[in-house]
């Protein structure tokens, strides 16, 4: 069985290390904020000018003036600071973000990322994706394995306009965890009951399996 969205988000949260400064992209990555252990001492950054972002607010905590880059209301932890976008992007471009977790449209085997536009589709702009992909010290992409039309989103070469080149360290999908490895993807973890054959069939590039989960006991 493939991972649910919540399981994908929880797996992405496991990529965050103690004391890191982390940016969470729009969409599924924003939900990672709800799955961080308090003792990790992680500082969340939002490119619209917030450092020290907390989880999504309860109804009683909602402040319409406190939002993330996706215009969702958020909370601010004790000690948080706000500043203008120019200062925020200077932090990104200066290499001060340890980890960015972004959504993706395509990832290639060499780590190229496309996540900002599909030709012919209306968009609002790139936002901070290009800066984060190029400026973060490590980039994890959290996305579905295949698109709605059944096309694989893990490919040998990008077919969509690139966001940044050779920037992706790891991809997490509903089928497992994949590291770009030059001319193939290295599957370092598979979701429970997902087979190697299924992964290979749904991936638009070669896959090398570096990890296989322990077999489950099917005895009844």
Query: From the CA atom positions of the chain, what is the Rg in Å?
Result: 18
Q: Which residues have a catalytic role annotated?
A: 47
* DSSP per position, the chain: -PPPHHHHHHHHHTT--TT-EEEE-SSGGGGGGGG--GGG--EEEETTTEEEE-SPPPTTT--TT-B-TTS-B--EEEEEEE--HHHHHHHHHTT--SEEEE--SEEETT--EE-S--TTS-----TTHHHHHHHSSSEEEE--SB-TTS-BSEESS--S--SBSS---EEE-SSEEEEE-SSSEEEEEE-TT--HHHHHHH-BS-EEE---PPPP----
Main-chain phi, psi angles of 14, to 5 degrees: -70, -15
């Amino acid at each position: 069985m493939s991972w649910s969205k919540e399981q994908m988000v929880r797996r992405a949260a496991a990529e965050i290390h103690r004391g890191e400064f982390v940016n969470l992209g729009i969409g599924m990555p924003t939900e990672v904020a709800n799955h961080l252990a308090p003792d990790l001492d992680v500082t969340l950054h939002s490119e619209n000018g917030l450092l020290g972002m907390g989880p999504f607010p309860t109804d009683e905590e909602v402040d319409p003036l406190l939002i993330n880059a996706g215009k969702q209301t958020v909370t601010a932890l004790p000690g948080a600071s706000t500043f203008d976008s120019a200062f925020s992007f200077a932090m990104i471009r200066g290499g001060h973000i340890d980890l960015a977790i972004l959504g993706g449209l395509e990832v290639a085997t060499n780590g190229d990322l496309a996540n900002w536009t599909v030709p012919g589709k209306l968009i609002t702009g790139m936002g901070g994706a290009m800066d984060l992909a190029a400026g973060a010290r490590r980039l994890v992409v959290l996305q579905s394995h295949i698109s709605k039309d059944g096309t694989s989103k893990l490919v040998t070469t990008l077919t969509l306009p690139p966001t940044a080149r050779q920037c992706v360290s790891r991809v997490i999908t509903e089928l497992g965890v994949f590291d770009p490895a030059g001319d193939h993807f290295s599957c370092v973890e598979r979701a429970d009951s997902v087979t190697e054959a299924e992964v290979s069939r749904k991936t638009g590039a070669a896959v090398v399996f570096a990890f296989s989960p322990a077999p489950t006991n099917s005895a009844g």
